[in-house]
């Protein structure tokens, strides 16, 4: 059978070719938009081979429904691209296939997501609208659903060969930065390689016969530290027997403390509290894609979150040795307060797995005084206080604030700051400061109620931010200018990931500032030291007691590439690997030269080893059946 000029014309004038060109051009433009990669030929070849193959499958449909099949294929692939764009805008990293399957969680943060929508994103769907008009209008030409099978066969076979070649080539190449990896390898290759290199399959569970003490010793050996005896630890048992109140503040960054805008304190209540607390200004977030739920997980386990998914979803039903379970053996009543629905981020599995006696969710707080995602922080604290007062035993309680959640839109009646006129042109900083000012006011009222009800003096209270609130991608020029004026330097990654950690023990703490660098993994061992509980034989923990820490390196994953770390001197970010990484000096925020970075390679390797060990430990824990009836 010959393949002549007529066949070629029919092939080129087919729906197969038309949709292939449209979708491949979208993929090429997506590369330029997301990755600033303007090598169009490389992008066209990388993405085009998969698109040609996928659309080739549509050709197997009967002719009468083939046009519908192409429309659906166009819509599905376009929606995949749009989801990736939106995900990168919100999380600043490229989603894996696993994260894309968790998009059902987006409904609960729809205001945050929609605030990031750019009208330009809708242009991705304009071809579908135009094609529908072409199809409906009988006067406008529309490509034939028929295609020359011989030409199609050659094209599909060549596209499969190309895809296999690229897949085989890239499967052995590791790039630490997921954005860089997706840009270099191609979006379809990136997703397939993540399926091929299933993160769970890559993790080797630890020997189940290893004792907790042996694992902790392994962790200490990697870190190169020696744990002090209890008798030599600073403030060991200083809060023994006290009630514990943990307050996790939504999107709260460290630069907010002691910050003034036009003479007004943004956080007057926390500023006053610092004078009677221990304050750790050099602490950084370590959450993964689960954000707030990851912060809860880390606080109660001192384990690294997962790098590819919200830990509460992928690993929420493991048999954890956790802080609530440990405190229950000491006679504590354990409870957590969150004004969101329990099913969001799979907390209906996570909270029982962590061992909380009680978890109080949305129905407890009613539907009055709604701010953003749910009832206000004032409602959260008031309802929570009622439960605390009823506890007949010492309690461990967590309050998860929510009113200052992105996009930071609070009622005008709750805006307590009078911002200068330049903030009228701010995209987000003005709203962020107003929301956090309200958070501080609600917190001040809660503190006063704890004092009035006699719960303050016999407590140890932890305050910390769960994760950053301002991503550089959220800011316009006015925002950047405002932040530079407030911080006295350009807003950097160091500012973004720096969260406050405050410990208040009434009658004991007197305004101490602890300069040791730390992360969220360190909160649990610092608290247990104050409670006089030795955890070396009881809890596997990857954090360190910040009051008795000679050195510390903070590993971060997901929001930074694998192997990223923060120590007393710098924030380091690898690209493909350590050799091409970059660093920002702390506290100057100045770039660190390549020659200066060489001395930190062992820190990079140490962080990766610790994160892998944490994953292995979690994978070794048995699954448990969780009842979701509570």
Is 467 marked as binding a ligand?
Answer: yes
CB 54 within 8 A of CB 77: yes
- 371 has which bridge partners? 374
Look-up: residue for tokens 């999107």? 251
Q: CA–CA separation, 257 vs 274, rounded Å?
A: 9
DSSP 144: B
C-beta atoms surrounding 201 within 10 Å: 8
Is 425 marked as binding a ligand?
Answer: no
Residue 114, Cβ density class (10 Å: 0-12 exposed, 13-18 middle, ≥19 buried): exposed
Interior angle at CA 92, CA 521 and CA 567, nearest 5? 35
The DSSP secondary structure of 440-500, one letter per residue, reads: HHHHHHHHHHHHHTT-STTEEEEEEE-S-S--GGG--HHHHHHHHHHHSS---HHHHHEEE
Could you tell me the CA-to-CA distances from 373 to 327, 362, 363, 379, 579 in Å, in that order? 31, 10, 13, 13, 43
CB 444 within 8 A of CB 268: yes
Q: Which of 427, 447, 517, 465 is nearest to 268 (CA)?
A: 447
Is 512 marked as binding a ligand?
Answer: no
φ and ψ at residue 480, rounded to 5 degrees: -65, -40
Q: CA–CA separation, 476 vs 480, rounded Å?
A: 6
The DSSP secondary structure of 279-321, one letter per residue, reads: EEEEEE----TTTHHHHHHHHHH--PPPSSS-HHHHSTTB---
CB 51 within 8 A of CB 76: no
Q: CA–CA separation, 234 vs 409, rounded Å?
A: 42
CB 51 within 8 A of CB 26: no
- 292 an active-site residue? yes
Q: Which residues contact residue 275 at a Cβ distance below 8 angstroms, ignoring those fewer than 6 apart?
A: 511
CB 246 within 8 A of CB 398: yes
- Strands of the 570-573 sheet, one edge to the other: 554-555, 565-566, 570-573, 582-585, 591-592
CA dihedral 351, 356, 358, 361 (to 10 degrees): -30
Q: Which of 288, 281, 307 is nearest to 495 (CA)?
A: 281
Backbone conformation region of residue 487, classed left if phi is above 0, alpha if psi is from -120 to 50, else beta: alpha
Q: CA–CA separation, 289 vs 307, rounded Å?
A: 7
CB 182 within 8 A of CB 94: yes
Is 393 marked as binding a ligand?
Answer: no
Burial 547-572 (b: 16+ CB within 10 A, else e): bbbeebbbbbbbbbbbbbbbbebbbb
Does the CA dihedral 20-23-29-34 come out positive or negative? Answer: negative
Q: CA–CA separation, 246 vs 332, rounded Å?
A: 14
C-beta atoms surrounding 447 within 10 Å: 21
Is 78 marked as binding a ligand?
Answer: no
- Catalytic, out of 292, 334, 528, 573: 292
Name the binding residues for Mn(2+). Answer: 250, 292, 466-467
What residues act catalytically?
Answer: 292
- Binding-site annotation: residue ranges for substrate: 405
């Amino acid at each position: 059978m010959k393949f002549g000029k007529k066949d070629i014309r029919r092939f080129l004038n087919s729906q197969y070719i038309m949709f292939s060109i449209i979708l491949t051009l979208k993929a090429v433009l997506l590369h330029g938009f997301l990755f600033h990669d303007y090598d169009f030929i490389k992008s066209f070849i990388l993405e085009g081979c998969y698109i040609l193959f996928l659309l080739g499958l549509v050709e197997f449909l009967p002719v009468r429904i083939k046009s519908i099949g192409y429309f659906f294929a166009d819509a599905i692939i376009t929606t995949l691209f749009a989801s990736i764009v939106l995900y990168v805008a919100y999380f600043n990293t490229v989603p894996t296939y696993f994260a894309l399957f968790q998009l059902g969680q987006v409904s609960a943060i729809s205001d945050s997501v929609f605030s990031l929508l750019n009208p330009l994103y809708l242009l991705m769907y304009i071809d579908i609208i135009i094609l529908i008009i072409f199809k409906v209008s009988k006067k406008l030409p529309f490509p034939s659903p028929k295609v020359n099978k011989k030409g199609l066969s050659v094209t599909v076979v060549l596209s499969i060969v190309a895809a296999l070649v690229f897949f085989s080539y890239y499967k052995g190449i590791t790039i630490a930065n997921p954005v860089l990896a997706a840009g270099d390898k191609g979006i379809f290759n990136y997703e397939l390689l993540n399926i091929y290199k299933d993160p769970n399959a890559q993790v080797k569970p630890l020997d189940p016969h290893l004792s907790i003490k042996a694992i902790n010793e392994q962790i200490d050996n990697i870190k190169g530290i020696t744990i002090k005896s209890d008798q030599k630890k600073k403030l060991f048992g200083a809060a023994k027997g006290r009630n514990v109140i943990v307050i996790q503040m939504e999107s709260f960054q460290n630069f907010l403390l002691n910050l003034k805008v036009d003479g007004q304190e943004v956080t007057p209540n926390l500023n006053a509290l610092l004078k009677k607390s221990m304050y750790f200004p050099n602490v950084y977030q370590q959450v993964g894609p689960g954000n707030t739920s990851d912060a809860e997980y880390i606080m109660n386990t001192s384990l690294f979150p997962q790098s590819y998914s919200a830990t509460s979803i992928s690993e929420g039903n493991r048999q954890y040795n956790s802080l609530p379970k440990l405190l229950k053996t000491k006679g504590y009543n354990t409870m957590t307060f969150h004004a969101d629905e329990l099913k969001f981020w799979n907390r209906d599995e996570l909270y029982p797995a962590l061992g909380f006696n009680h978890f109080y969710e949305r129905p407890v707080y009613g539907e009055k005084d709604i701010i953003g995602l749910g009832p206000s922080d004032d409602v959260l604290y008031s309802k929570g206080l009622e439960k605390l007062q009823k506890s007949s035993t010492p309690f461990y309680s967590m309050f998860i604030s929510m009113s200052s959640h992105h996009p930071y839109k609070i009622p005008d009646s709750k805006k307590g700051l009078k911002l200068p006129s330049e903030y009228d042109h701010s995209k987000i900083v003005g709203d962020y400061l107003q929301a956090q000012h309200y958070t501080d006011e609600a917190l001040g009222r809660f503190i006063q109620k704890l004092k009035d009800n006699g719960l303050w003096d016999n407590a140890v209270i932890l305050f910390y931010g769960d994760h950053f609130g301002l991503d550089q991608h959220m800011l316009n020029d006015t925002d950047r200018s405002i932040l530079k004026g407030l911080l006295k330097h350009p807003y950097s990654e160091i500012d973004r990931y720096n969260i406050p950690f405050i410990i208040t023990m009434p009658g004991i703490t007197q305004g101490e500032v602890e300069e040791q660098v730390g992360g969220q993994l360190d909160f649990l061992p610092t608290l247990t030291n104050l409670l006089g509980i030795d955890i070396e034989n009881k809890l596997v923990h990857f954090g360190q007691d910040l009051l008795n820490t000679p050195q510390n390196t903070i590993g971060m994953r997901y929001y930074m590439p694998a192997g990223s770390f923060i120590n007393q001197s710098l924030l380091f970010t690898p690209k493909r690997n350590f050799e091409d990484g970059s660093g920002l000096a702390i506290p100057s925020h100045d770039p660190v030269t390549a020659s200066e970075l060489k001395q930190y390679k062992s820190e990079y390797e140490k962080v990766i080893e610790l994160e892998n060990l944490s994953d292995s430990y979690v994978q070794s824990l048995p699954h448990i059946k969780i009842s979701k009836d509570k």
